[in-house]
Structure 1
Amino acid sequence: MEIGITGFGIMGPGFNNSDQFRDILFNKSFVLKKENIFGKYTYLGRVLEEDIDISSYPKEFSHLPKTAKMLLHTAREAIKMANIELSKHRTAVLVGSSGGTISEIIKLNDKKDRSPYTIGNMNNYSLSSSLSAAFGLNGMSFTLNNSCTSGMDAIHLAKILLESNQVDVCLVGATDSTLESLILGGFSDLRLLQLWREEGFPHGPFSKGKGFMISEGAGVLVLERADIPDREPSCIYGKITRSLLTQDGLSAYRSDPLGKQLKCAIDYCIFENFPTYINSQALGIKRIDELEAKLYRQKFKSTNIPITSIKGMVGHSMGAIGLFQIVSALISIRDNFIPPTLFCDTEQHPGVPIVTDVIFQLVEKVLITSQGYGGSNNCLMIEKGKS
């Protein structure tokens, strides 16, 4: 069963729609800002509240947490692109988020900030239920909190629902906003945040850095079965051909340093079907990036398939990053270019063809990889659709 992506929407630090996101990827723009966290400077990618537009929704939606508002903002772009009335079809809503509404819980800890909306906003299910309510959808609705693979995991579940003919359409989103002092302090204690460098250039993916640059944002996709009655999409931007999620099963606090289950996911998605390039998980943590580089050398040593990571430009948006990667892949398939890896150090990974500048070429297939805290892994292959 062919599963097509007919619409997508995106927002993150410095971009409010897919056109602005495309410009960042194309122009090698660095959109994160220097901020002081506990006496140390790091790089953060914030979404400004004034850039989130939910004015077309009922007034009640203004009380939702930021993560839900970003979903509503991006859903409007995705649904308009797909040119579909979701309520006329068997539609499921699936949302992935690593932090869920944790930022809202932190903000509401003080008694004086409580309101009749407090309980609803503390509920992670409000992320998917807000989309269901916004578009009058009465079918299945899920919120997945599977660490940083959450967005990709939601797509995997959507694929299962579509292929088993339980639904015709899936509205799949991912969102995260975790830039609170408690969370940033936790990552700082683990020494996982990229610190400001006086030279003015951070350590990016595939470098000798030991920390990542954290950001926030949201993305939404419209996924459809190919055989919906009386429905002929004007454009299919991509097809999800294979996907697999795995779990290392070793610890709640770390992932497998050998990456055996990540390799299983990659092997399953490749299946003698090599991609044009790989949109990699690499985020700037040396031990994780080295693991991926090693796997790529082993798997693709004779193919010279380009490897890139967009996180040097837009940061790591936690559970939303999978949607960032997928939308960037859809844009590169549509516009025929491979986005670069910013602030990498190719000397650290000899034999790995890391993309350091925009490559203009026909893009037919993109392999996307993701890993999460606690040993989650996800990998999927997107192919060119029909325009």
Structure 2
Amino acid sequence: MNIVCTGYGIIAPNTVNIDQYLFNLKNGVCCIETVENAGPQNESNIVGIIKTGIEKFENDKLLKRLPRVTKLGMAAAEEAIQSANLNLKNRKIGLFWGSSLGSFIEQSFQDSIIFSNEDNYRKIPMTFTHLANHHSSTASIAHYIGTNGITKTTSTGCTSSLEAIQDAILYLKSGIIDIAIVGGSDSPISKATTYAFAKTKGLPLNQDIFTGAVPFQEDSNGFAVSEAAGAIILERKDEAIKRETHIKGEIVDVISNNDSVYNFAAEETGQQMINALKEITHGRKPDYVNSQALGFQLNDRIEKRCSEEIFNHQVPYTSIKSMIGHPFGASGIVQVIASLLSIQHNFIPPTIRTSKKGFENMNIVTTTKYQEVNEVVITNHGLGGNNTCAYIKKSS
């Protein structure tokens, strides 16, 4: 049974819709920026900020109360439904959503959990329980788009949205649902996030845009924290053909596993990522790998090992995080959408800004490469140790 994508939607830094995303990917547009005095010691930092695209939610009396991460999700889901020309009435719909931090970074939530004395509980807002609950965000997206069927939330760190696709495929193949709306959103830019990752030396503090948050470059000291949301519509291929909708591509499979190491340790070999990648490729050679490399050296070196052991550095690698940064739980879905666009328009998006220092043996695409693209592999790793890979191909 083939599962296909019939619609997609996105909002990301300097990206308000699919058309702008396609333009940015083709032209290698850098959508992240340097922010001064953002670090613990007033260092500069590199981030990916969404500055426009959710105004209609901010101006609505009821919707404006919702967390930013939810508004981003609503924008992406709405565009995906329109893209698929989908009528939700009288259909068995499933909504599957991924998020790493959810509403945890919302300022009102942060303020409410910091107590200076025992009486401060009176200052906790009545929205606290929903801000603390990731699924409330998914439920709000379901309410906005008008679906009340199966509604699931996945929170496995940065692999969340890719694993939401894995769940949706199982529901579609079982026949429990007819349509799956699948996506992810995260809005993690905050002092809490910055200070936490600064302590673990994961951020490019005091690095300029040419050396910091650069995938596949050993001088990069960390990644660009970014916000984004993406959504796709999945259907069984035969039913998509019946309703005469345009098929964007086929999701062949999604594989996930876990490093299974102590929570405050790091798995440095990348063996479980290699295992997942071997299983998903199953001897096949994709046209390129849409990599999770993000400028954090441990992760990028694991990608290098994967390239060498599985493909002998012959298969092209790229990372769109050089353009949009790393949007945590939304990263998988935005990689999927980028891959679907590359299959439709026959190009490999570039890894911009990198000199490939330390990664010279890899086949890294640094300028847009126009060629026939039929199959793409996506790699994704999350805090907590999950490794998730997806295989996507052109629908015949």
Structure-1 residue corresponding to 2:22: 22
Percent identity between the two aligned chains: 31
SS at match of 1:193: coil
Contact 1:132 1:138 in 2 (8 A): yes
The residue aligned with 2:293 is 282
Deviates more, 1:192-201 or 1:369-378: 192-201
**Counterpart-to-counterpart distance in 1, 2:11 and 2:275:** 31
Residues 186, 199 of structure 1: alpha-carbon distance in 2 compared, 3 angstrom cutoff: closer
Q: Does 1:173 align with 2:183?
A: yes
Residue 43 of structure 1 corresponds to which residue in structure 2?
46
| Length-normalised TM-score, structure 2 | 0.91
Partner of 1:130: 140
CA contact (8 A) 2:105 2:192 kept: no
User: 77, 96, 99: which is aligned to 2:98?
Assistant: 96
Q: Measure the CA separation in 2 of the matches of 1:81 and 1:253.
A: 42
Is residue 205–residue 341 contact of structure 1 (8 Å, CA) maintained in 2? Answer: yes
What is the rounded CA distance, in whole Å, between the counterparts of 2:56 and 2:310 in structure 1? 45
Q: Does 1:371 align with 2:385?
A: no
1:106 aligns with 2:117: no
| Alpha-carbon distance in 2 for matches of 1:337, 1:198 | 29
Distance 2:208 2:99 in 1: 33
Task: Write out aligned runs for 1:70-85 (5 A).
Answer: 70-85=72-87
Q: How many residues align?
A: 384
Deviates more, 1:262-271 or 1:251-260: 251-260
CA contact (8 A) 1:207 1:343 kept: no
TM-score, structure 1 length as denominator?
A: 0.93
Distance 1:285 1:229 in 2: 40
AA in 2 matched with 1:10: I
**Given residue 15 of structure 2, which amino acid in structure 1 is its aligned partner?**
F
Instruction: Tell me if structure 1 keeps the 8 A contact 2:34–2:208.
Output: no
Mark the CA change 1:254 to 1:196 in structure 2 (over 3 Å): closer, same or farther.
same
CA RMSD of aligned residues (A): 2.2
- CA shift at 1:255, angstroms? 4.2
* Secondary structure of residue in 1 paired with 2:185: strand
CA distance in structure 2 between the aligned counterparts of 1:213 and 1:229, rounded to whole angstroms: 38
SS in 2 for 1:349: coil
Aligned pairs (5 A) from 1:1-387: 1-35=1-35, 36-37=37-38, 38=40, 39-48=42-51, 50-54=52-56, 59-104=61-106, 105-109=109-113, 115-197=125-207, 200-208=210-218, 209-228=220-239, 231-301=242-312, 304-385=314-395
1:203, 1:344 within 8 Å by CA — same for their partners in 2? no
Q: Give me the whole-angstrom Cα distance separating, in 1, the residues matched to 2:376 and 2:157.
A: 23
Change (3 A) 1:185 1:195: same
Change (3 A) 1:384 1:254: farther
- In 1, are the aligned partners of 2:112 and 2:125 still within 8 Å (CA)? no
Say if 2:6 and 2:240, in contact at 8 Å, map to a contact too: no
Cα shift at 1:230: 9.2
Q: 1:383 to 1:285 in 2, by over 3 A?
A: same
